[in-house]
């Protein structure tokens, strides 16, 4: 079960709770990151899945017998993760801690930060997060951090242009979303998001999310939440890692351990303490 931890007043404001956490638990359960990062975890344990969410990576690693803990800022995500783990007779250590407040009870040979860096946090908090992660590694330990390049998502990249930004915020949808996905217990979930604002100097998007839940064709819940998302370019992250004290930093393209190119949507940073 999640270990109770205090979350500071400046904790990241994310939408990863409530219906969104339920969506993640139901539908976000696979991906190439599981095996790719898992090869590092297998060789260097214990490991921490920092930003574990509902256990997309953590649960398969527990099945493989790896010594791995999890942390996340969202109590709801951790609750779903604990429930999934318990259903398979696992009882991992789960810490409710933001990345910039990371202070685990033990040190790790590997820390994985997958899909969460820059979500809901300030630039200063992101830099502090890298310092905290380094401090949470054993000497010689490895950080694995992935990051979507800013130009990978055409829907977001268009707002970097000044003339396009004049059209923000995007208009609200005037009807319920069309795409509903059935859940294991017979309900239906749907989500949609819009861009409210974008600051190109801070490289930060402000997004609004609406999540819906139906049961027996009746809408029983709707939640409106907001999230900030900061975009980072390669050389920015390399500088931040160096400032945090990491050495021997390598950048890989995607999740196939390839040399990085401008065509890769995701870059993986492999850094040593």
Whether residue 207 is found in the same domain as residue 242: no
* The pLDDT of residue 56: 97
**What is the rounded CA–CA span in Å between residue 24 and residue 169?**
26
Least confident range from 9-18, 136-145, 210-219: namely 9-18
Average pLDDT of the residues in 171-191: 83
**What is the bridge-based pairing of β-strands 181-182 and 188-199?**
antiparallel
Number of domains in the chain: 2
Average pLDDT of the residues in 235-258: 96
**What is the rounded CA–CA span in Å between residue 41 and residue 105?**
19
Average pLDDT, the chain: 93
Whether residue 48 is found in the same domain as residue 115: yes
* The pLDDT of residue 15: 75
Q: How confident is the model at residue 159 (pLDDT cuts 50, 70, 90)?
A: very high
Question: pLDDT, tens digit, for every residue of 22-73?
Answer: 999 999 999 999 999 999 999 999 999 999 999 999 999 999 999 999 999 9
Question: pLDDT, tens digit, for every residue of 76-102?
Answer: 999 999 999 999 999 999 999 999 999
* The pLDDT of residue 179: 84
Whether residue 21 is found in the same domain as residue 143: yes
What pTM value is reported for the model?
0.93
Helix (H) or strand (E) holding 189: strand 188-199
Q: Is the pLDDT of residue 11 over 60?
A: no
Q: How confident is the model at residue 171 (pLDDT cuts 50, 70, 90)?
A: confident
* The pLDDT of residue 6: 47
Whether residue 178 is found in the same domain as residue 254: no
Whether residue 62 is found in the same domain as residue 111: yes
* The pLDDT of residue 1: 46
* The pLDDT of residue 254: 93
Whether residue 143 is found in the same domain as residue 220: no
Q: What is the CATH number of the domain that holds 245?
A: 3.40.50.150
Longest dimension (CA), the chain: 55
Cis ω for the linkage preceding 169 (within 30 of 0): yes
Whether residue 197 is found in the same domain as residue 244: no
Q: How confident is the model at residue 172 (pLDDT cuts 50, 70, 90)?
A: confident
Quote the DSSP letter at residue 174.
S
Q: Which domain holds residue 128?
A: 2-150+232-272
To the nearest whole percent, how much of the chain has pLDDT over 90? 88
Whether residue 40 is found in the same domain as residue 132: yes
Whether residue 77 is found in the same domain as residue 189: no
* The pLDDT of residue 4: 43
Whether residue 72 is found in the same domain as residue 177: no
Whether residue 108 is found in the same domain as residue 216: no
Whether residue 104 is found in the same domain as residue 165: no
Q: Is the pLDDT of residue 12 over 80?
A: no
Q: What is the tally of helices (H) and strands (E) in the chain?
A: 8, 12
């Amino acid at each position: 079960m999640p270990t109770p931890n205090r979350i500071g007043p400046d904790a990241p404001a994310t939408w990863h709770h409530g219906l969104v956490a339920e969506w993640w638990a139901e539908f976000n359960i696979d991906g190439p990151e599981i095996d790719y990062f898992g090869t590092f975890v297998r060789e260097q344990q214990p490991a921490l899945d920092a930003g574990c969410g509902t256990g997309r990576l953590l649960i398969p690693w527990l099945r493989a017998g790896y010594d791995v803990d999890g942390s996340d800022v969202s109590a709801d995500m951790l609750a779903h993760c604990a429930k999934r783990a318990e259903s398979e007779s696992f009882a991992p250590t789960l810490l409710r801690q933001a990345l910039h407040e990371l202070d685990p009870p033990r040190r790790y040979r590997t820390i994985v930060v997958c899909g969460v860096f820059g979500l809901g946090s300030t630039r200063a908090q992101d830099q502090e997060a890298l310092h905290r992660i380094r401090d949470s590694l054993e000497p010689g330990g490895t950080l694995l951090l992935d990051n979507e390049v800013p130009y990978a998502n055409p829907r977001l990249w268009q707002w970097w242009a000044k003339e396009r930004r004049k059209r923000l915020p995007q208009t609200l949808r005037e009807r319920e979303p069309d795409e509903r996905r059935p859940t294991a217990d017979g309900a239906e979930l749907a989500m949609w998001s819009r861009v409210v604002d974008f600051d190109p100097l801070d490289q930060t998007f402000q997004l609004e999310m609406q999540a819906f839940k139906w049961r027996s064709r009746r809408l029983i819940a709707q939640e409106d939440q907001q999230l900030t998302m900061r975009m980072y370019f390669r050389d920015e992250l390399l500088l931040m890692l160096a400032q945090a004290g990491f050495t021997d930093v390598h950048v890989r393209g995607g999740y196939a351990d390839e040399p990085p190119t401008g065509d890769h949507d995701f870059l993986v940073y492999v850094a040593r303490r």
